[in-house]
Structure 1
Amino acid sequence: MSAATSFLDLALLIAFVLVAVAQVLSMLRLVIGPTTGDRILAIDTMTVNAIGLIVLLGIAQGSRIYFEVTLIIAMLGFISTVAYARFILRGDIIE
């Protein structure tokens, strides 16, 4: 095992831990609130954190399929955040 491989493993472990902590903090913000805007932002942040975890998993396993999955999740996350925000602001999604 070379030094570069062990450094990559350590960096991946640290990144996994940090993104997982960020995910837990976002979940805490989702529960605590206090406003609807905070909850929308927490859901969007959780989507970004989930994308980060999936990318890290793809790097750790050396598979490219995870990167395609993250693109789909990113598109769905963006659309759902916009739709939810429009629903809260206007009361309807489609004009």
Structure 2
Amino acid sequence: MTCSNCAPIEETRTIFSTGRLAAAITMAKEAIRDGILQDVPGGPMSSVIPLSDLNPDGPWDDLLRYRFRCTTCAQVFLLSAETYHGSGGEWAKEPG
């Protein structure tokens, strides 16, 4: 359940192009900068490159997986993408 802090962030976004992936990376970085989300490092299959070092325009690792937590309600969001084969990815609320 989102709160008024994280409600403006899209709950689900299918990533089917490099442009959509770049937009999702930018959205996550801006939300962290604005204090809406905080990066949740580590976890299963997390990306090697920290989000702070990730360029929205690439190059990217073959698999991207980042988790974020709302600084107010602790809702967790997940950004994941498979870039090697171009099968896409998703920005979504993590069930929980």
Q: TM-score, normalised by structure 1?
A: 0.34
- Which of these two proteins has the greater Rg computed from alpha carbons? 1
Q: From the two aligned structures, give the one with the greater strand fraction.
A: 2
Q: Report which of the two has the higher share of helix.
A: 1
Instruction: Please give the TM-score of this superposition, normalised by the length of structure 2.
Output: 0.34
Q: Which has the higher contact order (CA 8 A, sep 6+)?
A: 2
